[in-house]
Amino acid sequence: MISTPPNNPRSSSSRVLVTGGAGFIGAHLVERLLQDGKSVVVMDDLSTGSRDNLRAVAQHRNFRFIQSKISTCAELPELAAEAEYIFHLAATVGVDLVVQSALHVLEASFHETQILLRAAAKNSTPLLLTSTSEVYGKSAKPEFSEDDDLLIGPPTHSRWSYASAKLTDEFLALAYAREKKLPITIARLFNTVGPRQTGRYGMVLPRFIAAARAGEPLRVFGDGAQSRCFCLVHDVVEALVRLQHCPAARGEIFNIGGTEEVSILDLAKLVVATLDSKSPIELIAYDQAYAPGFDDMRRRKPLVDKLERWVNFKPQTTLCDIIRLTAA
């Protein structure tokens, strides 16, 4: 475990613990919390996160970084007890990594989350768990609501290991809420994108932007008719902060995502047009991109009415603006 000491931290009453805080979303959340006057402790093992994401706040007097897994952090009980609340963002990210390392995904997710929940429960420290739209699985519904039934693919396809792991985390967290009275809020994130996101693990928008800038082909997997909704990371952070500050949201699940639906083929075309690129677009069969038998969701559009009702917020940044901001 590697730890940087706190720089004159504020009182523990304003301290926030963020697991996975060196990740793309986590780092943006950390910046927002520091702007709000919080003292922030980030715990991240840097398996997919990066210290570069935290460069802007590295010297902030109310920021502390601990390089460690949750399960190997000796300070965890003290950190959880002193925290005003906890954001749990630590997770394996990206379809590429999930397909290639299903064992790591399954073991790390459940084990680490369980240890964090136990620590939080000792002092009833409010905890917000970030989950994923992947839990909706193979459902063919045109829009997904938080109380929908979930249809996960077969265990022979490692594609679904991440969805299963995060769904298990949700069940575990809600069990702690019921039986241990732990204040839990769950946020299911839909395709969060924005500045500093990398295409390293298969994230489609930064991958398209990098190819368009380099004049290389934009590789669209499958027939390109599969559709997604994208949400700017700043909108996601705003929703997460509002949910954590809403005691009535404890024990509830919320979708967080944009609602402007676009096919992946049209997204590629829009990136090329927005960046005035000459890059061609290529269709690549799933079997060439991933293992044979790869499953994909044809649509993934969230209903966010519940989020708007509970915290008076709905992500509204347009897709064109999202592309420009991410590219910038």
HSE of 5, CA atoms in CB hemisphere, 13 A: 2
Tokens of 164: 């299963």
136 is known as an active-site residue: no
Burial letters 52-66, b for 16+ CB under 10 A, else e: ebbeebeebebbbbb
Q: Cα angle vertex 97, ends 161, 239, to 5°?
A: 80
Which of 162, 176, 201, 286 does the annotation list as catalytic? 162
Burial letters 95-124, b for 16+ CB under 10 A, else e: bbbbbebbeebbebbbebbbbbbebbbeee
286: CB partners within 8 A, 6+ apart: 221, 222, 294, 296
Nearest-10 crossing angle of helices 24-35, 233-244? 60
59: CB partners within 8 A, 6+ apart: 7
Give the three-class secondary structure for 227.
Answer: strand
Q: What is the C-alpha to C-alpha distance for residues 188 and 240, in angstroms, rounded to an integer?
A: 10
Tokens of 79: 């950190």
Reference 129, options 296, 271, 8, 250; nearest CA is 250
Give the three-class secondary structure for 252.
Answer: strand
- Scan for tokens 């917000």, then name that residue: 128
Give the three-class secondary structure for 151.
Answer: strand
Residue type at 215 in one-letter notation? G
User: Would you please indicate which residues are annotated as catalytic (active-site) residues?
Assistant: 162
